[in-house]
A and B are shown apart, each in its own frame.
Chain A
Amino acid sequence: MAGVHISTTINGDMVEFACPQDETLLNSLRDRVGLTGVKEGCGTGDCGACSVTLDGRLVCSCLVLSAEVNGRNITTVEGMSEEGKLHPLQEKFIEHAALQCGICTPGFLVAAKVLLEDNPKPSEEEIRYALAGNLCRCTGYDKIVRAVQAAGKEMRKKRR
């Protein structure tokens, strides 16, 4: 099968790679760009472990073809901390023990960041529905929701 050549911005850096036409963004990110923080839980859009943003929008990278991302802007969990400092969400996830095995964590962090940027003060219900596309089998979501609430608070404080 003919390959495609992709040039794109990932976590602020220019990245180029070549891949088969039908390769998913998930596989390119993991196998060609080396961003294995993006996880595969299902490959069918049902678990959210592969969540990334594409031009600021939350997507399942297993449902996006790499051929579609030429010239576009991608962020992954690897791009969340800035200047060597953890993002408040990352800090609060650790502080609130919002992860057990941690395989779902990258997807939750990316999705929660999009949520808090859109809606800095979400209600519990809004958090639960915004994260309903991300499966976690370990935690029962309790500590995840609390971590997102705490991070929201922290970010609001910083903004003031």
Chain B
Amino acid sequence: MGHDTKFTNQEFKLVGTRPARPDGVDKVTGRARYGADISAPGQLVGLVLRSPYAHAKIKKIDISKAEKLKGVKAVITDADLPDNTKGNRDLLDILENCMARGRALYDGHAVAAVAAIDDQTARKALKLIKVSYEKLPHVTDVDEALKDGAPIIQDFVVDPRTKKNSNLCKLTTLGHGDIDAGFAEADYIVEQSFKTEQTHQGYIEPHACLATLGPDGAGELWVTTQGPFAFRSTCAELLGLDISKLKVTSSEIGGGFGGKTHVWVEPLALALSRKANRPVKMVMSRDEVFRASGPTSSTSIDVKMGVKKDGTITAAHAVLRYHNGAFPGFWGMLGAMTSFACYDIKNIKPVGYDVLVNRPKVAAYRAPSAPMAAFAIESTVDMLAHKIGMKPIDLRIKNAAKEGSRASYGPTYGPIGIGPTLDAAKNHPHMRAKLKKNQGRGMACGFWFNFGGQTCVDLNIGTDGSVNLIVGTVDVGGSRASLSLIAAEELGIAYEQVKTNIGDTASLGHNDMTDGSRGTFSSGMATIFAARNAIEVLKERASKMMDVPLEAIVWENGTAKAIGKGHSNMAPLSLKEIAAAAPKTGGPIAGHKEVVADNAGVSFASHICDVEVDPETGSTRVIRYTVIQDAGKAIHPDYVEGQFQGGAAQGIGWALNEESIYDKNGILQNPGFLDYRIPVCSDLPFIDTQILEIPNPNHPYGVRGVGETSIVPPLAAIGNAVSNAVGVRMSHIPMSPMRILKALDDA
């Protein structure tokens, strides 16, 4: 059945309310089952041996002693993972990232894995594996990696300009206009370089899975993931299995933020299970999570922007260098695409560099690559404002992108929220609150694309009139509540009558991952149409039951009503009554929908932040924080606010504390929560939120994604606040006490 996704401005009874989430009781009682929470009869414990070197040739791996240890059921190396990728280099990179193939490319790179009857035996076995390494020169710094003579990490990578072997794996030049002409028009030009350090998503639940794979090539994988369907196809392809023979079930997920869109130990668990012919459970330690699973890029960014005295920004140029880890990605490209997206500037030229270094393969982290670019650009915008004596917010308002503006990454915007969020920021009481000594205020804007993609849902109505909605997008932060609200809204029944479940890969068609802020957007869209399709069936059944032509039946408030001549005094039939009669009127009543939910609405936010900096110690406290973001339409406002607050908190950690520190040997120095310090409760104030609703014209309810944009502005908002507090421009993230003191000394 066709569908029209246009925004219709319908009136809501339930959407926009804040009912209790359906998985709430499970999660407060400890019943909810996460990745590490299930077991299978005869299960083995799987563990991974990891490289202690940043870059080394693996000359030999001797597993014979480990294999002989009593209780060891399987030992695998790259030899057990033959290349099934048929020339697909990206897939081969994933395979090699899961298990080294002749060379270790970063500290923590997996080299071998064992499965044994218990943890102690598996640990002993790891010690018995003998690996002979030949150390190679390494490079972990993004700028160093681009220099002539830097150690080369992948010999298939060539500099697109010189065609010579290099660590530059992708160069992306974007923009429009003529920046030279634009700079010539400017009254003032600001140039500034910035650096940001590698951070980690820091989900509290480590990667975990339980894998079963038999000699018949059929298997099951229980795993903490943002995308069971993507995990299924990746694992099947890497192991040479038929996709339909692998059933992947997503557990409850203990945080992902992008980091659980990639496979790490899952293919190894399946390979071990295949070799041992027993179920294998693997749970990464926190140390492994930090050393080997997805970090962000560190960056080095140069910005040049020109402005007229009246505040018109005439030209903007940025060179954005992003490290990719040891395998090619497109993180610098994303940085370049998002860089100037908040503004309507005639002449722009962002250039993204993607650079290989000896660090783990970079993974997505909430609005991946945008926060670092925003830090550089939004800091420079503040500098421009100071130059011409204009308030930073007024300069932003004057240059903000609007409907019809050409985005820095190409397309022309429809209705967007940057202007309204800036106006709301300007009028917010936070902007006028008095500051005390050593305090500073900063603000910044942020942008994220949002993504739609493939989705399908099933909606089944039981004979008691209760509704089971099955979706294929993993619930990372309360989306089941939002989707139940949507189903109930469309059907005209109570929220409590709907139960939303996450389906496994054997129960639904393909669903893209919960990434790109698409969960509620895309499954919500499919749910609307599945419910409307179910209503068509309900009406048909009602027409039979009432003996009234189908054309005379309308659906109102959860009932089928007969209209027109001769029907006006017929009692309407409720969904419950129609459902109860289903066995006799044609069998189960259901609605289904498959969509490619294109046109996810772009999303913008403006953040305001106050900090207090201790000039003696350089330590910084965020004392007030306000998030203003366009949600399109907030289905369940609690969980929209939650996304705003959570993203802001992660950004605060990134701005002030979080940093993966590699020593001169390329070894990660802080693979634990003690030294990689994420914000704790006492570090933060309440985080104020304001939800704006500028409808997405391409979604029936106007929904835009909300999950990611909130992490984009904080680095810059806090950078601007600290710079204002100490009177010195901060250009290196995180602004740890040491860096602040050094900046004060240097000034």
Q: Chain A interface (Cβ within 8 Å of chain B)?
A: 1, 20, 27, 30-31, 35-44, 46-47, 49, 76-78, 80-81, 86, 89-90, 93-97, 99-106, 109, 125, 127-129, 131-146
In the bound complex, do residue A137 and residue B29 qualify as a contact, i.e. CB atoms below 8 Å apart?
Answer: no
Separation of A38 and B478 alpha carbons in the complex (Å): 21
In the bound complex, do residue B687 and residue A140 qualify as a contact, i.e. CB atoms below 8 Å apart?
Answer: yes
In the bound complex, do residue A138 and residue B681 qualify as a contact, i.e. CB atoms below 8 Å apart?
Answer: no
Contacts of A146 in B (CB 8 A): 686
- With A37-B30, A94-B25 given, name 10 new contacts (CB 8 A): A27-B119, A36-B36, A39-B205, A39-B254, A41-B254, A46-B673, A97-B642, A106-B28, A136-B681, A140-B649
A102-B252 in contact given A77-B29, A135-B204 (Cβ < 8 Å): yes
Contacts of B253 in A (CB 8 A): 101
Separation of A89 and B345 alpha carbons in the complex (Å): 51
Question: Which A residue sits closest to B675, measured CB to CB?
Answer: A46
The 10 closest A-B pairs by CB, nearest first: A37-B30, A103-B254, A140-B649, A102-B27, A97-B638, A140-B645, A94-B24, A100-B477, A46-B673, A90-B28
Q: Chain B interface (Cβ within 8 Å of chain A)?
A: 18, 20-21, 23-25, 27-34, 36-37, 39, 119-120, 201-206, 252-257, 283, 285-286, 476-478, 638-639, 641-642, 645-646, 648-650, 672-674, 678-684, 686-687
Question: Which B residue sits closest to A22, measured CB to CB?
Answer: B120
Contact residues of B: prevailing secondary structure: loop
A49-B29 in contact given A97-B638, A141-B684 (Cβ < 8 Å): no
Contacts of B21 in A (CB 8 A): 94, 97
A38-B30 in contact given A44-B673, A137-B204, A139-B642 (Cβ < 8 Å): yes
Contact residues of A: prevailing secondary structure: loop
Most buried by A among B21, B119, B255, B256: B255
Separation of A146 and B638 alpha carbons in the complex (Å): 13
In the bound complex, do residue B645 and residue A143 qualify as a contact, i.e. CB atoms below 8 Å apart?
Answer: yes
Quote the shortest CB–CB distance from B364 to chain A (angstroms).
15
Residue in A40, A81, A89, A145 whose beta carbon sits within 8 Å of that of B686 in the complex: A145
Separation of A47 and B205 alpha carbons in the complex (Å): 10
Contacts of A39 in B (CB 8 A): 34, 204-205, 254
Quote the shortest CB–CB distance from B40 to chain A (angstroms).
13
In the bound complex, do residue A41 and residue B286 qualify as a contact, i.e. CB atoms below 8 Å apart?
Answer: yes
Separation of A1 and B256 alpha carbons in the complex (Å): 37
Separation of A25 and B9 alpha carbons in the complex (Å): 55
In the bound complex, do residue B30 and residue A40 qualify as a contact, i.e. CB atoms below 8 Å apart?
Answer: no
Quote the shortest CB–CB distance from A110 to chain B (angstroms).
10
Question: Which A residue sits closest to B120, measured CB to CB?
Answer: A20
A41-B204 in contact given A100-B477, A101-B477, A137-B255 (Cβ < 8 Å): yes
Separation of A15 and B201 alpha carbons in the complex (Å): 38
In the bound complex, do residue B30 and residue A41 qualify as a contact, i.e. CB atoms below 8 Å apart?
Answer: no
In the bound complex, do residue B476 and residue A100 qualify as a contact, i.e. CB atoms below 8 Å apart?
Answer: yes
In the bound complex, do residue A40 and residue B36 qualify as a contact, i.e. CB atoms below 8 Å apart?
Answer: yes
Question: Which A residue sits closest to B118, measured CB to CB?
Answer: A20
Quote the shortest CB–CB distance from B270 to chain A (angstroms).
22
Give 19 CB contacts A-B under 8 Å: A30-B37, A36-B34, A46-B672, A86-B25, A93-B24, A97-B18, A99-B24, A100-B639, A100-B646, A101-B256, A102-B27, A103-B203, A104-B254, A105-B28, A136-B681, A137-B204, A137-B257, A141-B680, A143-B641
In the bound complex, do residue A100 and residue B37 qualify as a contact, i.e. CB atoms below 8 Å apart?
Answer: no
Separation of A131 and B23 alpha carbons in the complex (Å): 24
Contacts of B33 in A (CB 8 A): 36
In the bound complex, do residue A102 and residue B681 qualify as a contact, i.e. CB atoms below 8 Å apart?
Answer: no
In the bound complex, do residue A42 and residue B681 qualify as a contact, i.e. CB atoms below 8 Å apart?
Answer: no
Contacts of A47 in B (CB 8 A): 204, 286, 673
In the bound complex, do residue B202 and residue A137 qualify as a contact, i.e. CB atoms below 8 Å apart?
Answer: yes
Residue in B18, B201, B682 whose beta carbon sits within 8 Å of that of A128 in the complex: B682
Question: Which A residue sits closest to B27, measured CB to CB?
Answer: A102
Separation of A104 and B203 alpha carbons in the complex (Å): 10
Residue in A1, A49, A134 whose beta carbon sits within 8 Å of that of B681 in the complex: A134
In the bound complex, do residue A93 and residue B642 qualify as a contact, i.e. CB atoms below 8 Å apart?
Answer: no
Contacts of A144 in B (CB 8 A): 681
Separation of A111 and B478 alpha carbons in the complex (Å): 23
A44-B204 in contact given A86-B25, A138-B255 (Cβ < 8 Å): no
Contacts of A37 in B (CB 8 A): 29-31
Contacts of B646 in A (CB 8 A): 100, 137-140
Separation of A43 and B252 alpha carbons in the complex (Å): 20
A101-B20 in contact given A1-B120, A40-B206 (Cβ < 8 Å): no
Separation of A128 and B621 alpha carbons in the complex (Å): 14
In the bound complex, do residue B30 and residue A77 qualify as a contact, i.e. CB atoms below 8 Å apart?
Answer: yes
Contacts of B34 in A (CB 8 A): 36, 39, 103
